[in-house]
Structure 1
Amino acid sequence: MRSIRLAYLTILTAAIAGCEKKPTADTTASSHTVVSVAKVQSLQPSLPIVLPGELKAWNRTLIVGKVKGYVGKLYVDRGSRVKKGQPLAELEAPEVLAALNQARAQVSSAQASLIEHRAKQKVSAATYRRIVETNRTEGAVSANELDMAYARMMSDSALAEASAQNLEAARAQMASQQQLVAYLSVRAPFDGTITERNISPGDLVGADGNKPLFILEDKSRLRLTVAIPENLANALSENSSVSFTVQADPSKSYEAHFARSSNSVDEKNRSMLAEFDFENTDDNLKAGMYAEVRLPITRNKPTLFVPRTSIIHSTEGVFLVRVNNQTAEWVAVQKGNSLDSLVEVFGPVKEGEQIVKSASEELRNGQAISLN
């Protein structure tokens, strides 16, 4: 029995010794992570981006009544095509016509007064000349009589001048009343289409009305307005063209040409408004339509691109992992546009630098790496 216990203790001791044996250097795992690398590229591509846009009429105006009056006649309705200067409606305002007749009477009165005072001026001037001629004979005319003749001539001259100014004022008043009477005929300021009519015969209208009489739009040419994001504001060239589609006919593509921009970024939505002109000769498109605009964007200088898989998105920001002497170095960057499998980046990186092609947060900053 004692021999059996001794054998058991010998086996147990050998097992414990075997468990405590240290591993050899051949079984130690390597501390370097093997990675694939890519190079930072400098490119200047034309990047088509899709932005929302809106078609607006070339000209659009709200036509209101200049003078207060009743609607007498209507010549157009919603959808009517009109020419510049064409009558749209006639207003009735008897007091305006009465004021015009009064202004005409004042002009006639001022003309008569001017004729009278000019005649008196002519007579008094002739009398003064005769008295001066007579005064050459010593003692023929008294000094008082000469002075009175001179004063009468100057008085008549002043009255004639005042009458001439009164006539000009009366004519200006009559011209003003004539213009008010002309406003009774509401006319189209340009060629276009009536898109809204808010009056009926008998309505009282005026300049203080809440609604316009008509809304007129010129849709022969349309303005395609697009809000360009702030990061692309300098990438829009003056000779660029865009293609766009509308929901009314998604299968058909249209083309418009750059015309103008605000050259200022709106503080509210951080975008710059640009306009592209479209000749709507077939009248297929309507003002107010929503458009999906395909806009080619080219930077004014080359920028840097990296593979999409090399970018790390973490809670601290966006990073690339640069290879620096066999060490992983995290570099903070900002993303730009996408080009197929590449992404535009901005940050402290240079063209040709090596970065980890497939980066992840598991690869920490300062970690030793080996190139594949």
Structure 2
Amino acid sequence: MTPVFKSAAILLPVMVWAVILQGCGSSRAEDEKRGKETEAAAPALEAFTLQKGALSSSIRMPGELVAFQRVDLYAKVSSFVKKLYVDVGSEVKTGQLLVTMEAPEVNSQLSGAESRLKSQEAIYLSSKATYDRLLETSKTPGTISQNDLDIAFAKQKSDLAQLDAARAAYKEVGANKDYLEIRAPFNGVISRRNVSPGAYVGPAGKGSDLPIFTLQEQKKLRLVISVPEAYIGYLDNKSEVDFTTKALPDKTFKAKITRLSGVLDERLRAQSIEMDVENNDKQLLPGMVAEVSLPLSSEASAFVVPSSAVLNASRGVYVIKVVNNKAAWVPVKTGRQVDGKTEIFGDLSLNDTIITTANEEIRDSSDIKQVKVTTAQ
């Protein structure tokens, strides 16, 4: 083989390997460049600094309007209805006469008690006069023995006790006669009447089954609702509520929370709450069902985050915190959710960096290279 062919045979493999190595270097450089471009093109994860806040919301629940005061009026003594002065729908004032009754035996008892009282007064006056005379005479030595004086004094005291008993009996019978009149204990409206003139009424027997009248205060009502246990912590004793009724759906009424029962109903696990409702125009009636909008206020004591930051994973509820460019899944408990925000409770601190949109692709303890942090959320 000539020298020329030998040189060509040697140079050809060298050139081939040079071309191969050049191609490999070029491919590696292109891969690195493409990787950098891909990394630069990947959007940064959005995050925010954790802050405390307060959520304001409301819940709607049914309530009942009841009379502020309501009483069933019964007869205390056995008697017959003599006259009714009011009827259903009558407006009455405190102390107004509603019904009179008659019981002839009460008048007889009163006459007898009065006679006994007068008789006992006479007996007492006689024994008192006797004692006073003996006492005056005993001032002369040897005229009246001490024993006679003591007997007269004891007789006076006994007659005085009998007089007091007669007075008490007379008052008792007189009080029973007063019970033959029933007067209104407060301002209100007669909502029910169950008897007519001539009907027998009394504390026992068939006449005591139903009240003579039912009286209800109408110009002031109570709005009563039962609030579930989960919402009790958000209640304010002076909160103002709005409510509507089926009878007046286009009108909104207001009331203020005034009384909380302080205990949970054992069956419903709810607390009874009462609100006073002024009803001077009498548009509302006792017994109406109301739909109440109850505000739930809270102090700025809980961490509030966007609902998208809460991750509901198969093993629990988490938020993803960024610590030293690494993802840390922090277990939390959630509170209320209002307008895309959620209360969370867990091992967190102010100004922690939290991923705005949490998902399971961001693995626990994984590296986070790019994060765009906002100061507040």
> Same-fold call, TM > 0.5?
yes
Give aligned pairs, total. 334
**Pair 1:361–1:80, CA change in 2 (3 A):** farther
Indicate yes or no: 2:40 matched with 1:44: no
Indicate yes or no: 2:285 matched with 1:286: yes
User: Equivalences for 1:15-26 in 2 at 5 Å?
Assistant: none
SS at match of 2:244: strand
SS at match of 1:129: coil
User: Equivalences for 1:306-345 in 2 at 5 Å?
Assistant: 306-313=305-312, 318-325=317-324, 328-345=327-344
Q: Work out whether residues 222 and 276 of structure 2, in 8 Å CA contact, stay in contact via their aligned partners in 1.
A: yes
**Pair 1:333–1:289, CA change in 2 (3 A):** farther
Partner in structure 1 of residue 17 of structure 2: none
1:123 Cα deviation after fit: 2.4
Indicate yes or no: 2:118 matched with 1:104: no
Deviation string 1:291-316 (CA, Å, 9 cap, x unpaired) is: 22223332244322122233344676
SS at match of 2:107: helix
Which of 87, 95, 98 aligns to 2:105? It is 95
1:283 Cα deviation after fit: 1.0
Distance 1:86 1:60 in 2: 16
Q: What's the TM-score once normalised by structure 2's chain length?
A: 0.76
Indicate yes or no: 2:135 matched with 1:125: yes
Distance 1:97 1:366 in 2: 97
Indicate yes or no: 2:89 matched with 1:79: yes
Distance 1:318 1:51 in 2: 29
Distance 1:180 1:219 in 2: 31
Distance 1:362 1:164 in 2: 101
1:71 Cα deviation after fit: 2.4
Deviation string 1:7-52 (CA, Å, 9 cap, x unpaired) is: xxxxxxxxxxxxxxxxx99999x9x998654544311243333333
Partner in structure 2 of residue 213 of structure 1: 212
1:246 Cα deviation after fit: 1.6
Distance 2:152 2:112 in 1: 28
1:158 Cα deviation after fit: 1.5
Indicate yes or no: 2:151 matched with 1:151: no
Q: What's the TM-score once normalised by structure 1's chain length?
A: 0.77
Indicate yes or no: 2:170 matched with 1:170: no
1:371 Cα deviation after fit: 5.2
Structure 1 stretch displaced more, 218-227 or 36-45? 36-45
Distance 1:288 1:317 in 2: 46
Q: Work out whether residues 33 and 368 of structure 1, in 8 Å CA contact, stay in contact via their aligned partners in 2.
A: no
Partner in structure 2 of residue 249 of structure 1: 248
Distance 1:364 1:105 in 2: 103
Distance 1:267 1:371 in 2: 54
**Pair 1:302–1:97, CA change in 2 (3 A):** same
1:204 Cα deviation after fit: 2.6
Distance 1:269 1:346 in 2: 27
Q: Work out whether residues 59 and 293 of structure 2, in 8 Å CA contact, stay in contact via their aligned partners in 1.
A: yes
Distance 1:329 1:218 in 2: 63
Partner in structure 1 of residue 347 of structure 2: 348
Distance 1:317 1:101 in 2: 86
Q: Where do 5+ consecutive residues of structure 2 fail to align?
A: 1-27, 372-377
Indicate yes or no: 2:176 matched with 1:180: yes
Indicate yes or no: 2:255 matched with 1:260: no
SS at match of 1:50: strand
Amino acid at match of 1:271: A
Structure 1 stretch displaced more, 91-100 or 354-363? 354-363
1:175 Cα deviation after fit: 0.9
1:342 Cα deviation after fit: 0.6
Deviation string 1:333-367 (CA, Å, 9 cap, x unpaired) is: 33322331112222333333334434456766556
Distance 2:110 2:316 in 1: 76
**Pair 1:269–1:355, CA change in 2 (3 A):** farther
Amino acid at match of 1:63: L
Identity of aligned residues (%): 34
Distance 2:358 2:184 in 1: 66
Amino acid at match of 2:310: I
1:190 Cα deviation after fit: 0.6
Q: Work out whether residues 33 and 369 of structure 1, in 8 Å CA contact, stay in contact via their aligned partners in 2.
A: no
Amino acid at match of 2:187: D
Structure 1 stretch displaced more, 331-340 or 77-86? 331-340
Amino acid at match of 2:215: L
Q: Work out whether residues 237 and 260 of structure 2, in 8 Å CA contact, stay in contact via their aligned partners in 1.
A: no
Indicate yes or no: 2:190 matched with 1:190: no
**Pair 1:120–1:285, CA change in 2 (3 A):** same
Q: Work out whether residues 124 and 149 of structure 1, in 8 Å CA contact, stay in contact via their aligned partners in 2.
A: no
Amino acid at match of 2:192: E
**Pair 1:198–1:330, CA change in 2 (3 A):** farther
SS at match of 2:217: strand
SS at match of 2:197: coil
Amino acid at match of 2:212: L
Indicate yes or no: 2:72 matched with 1:62: yes
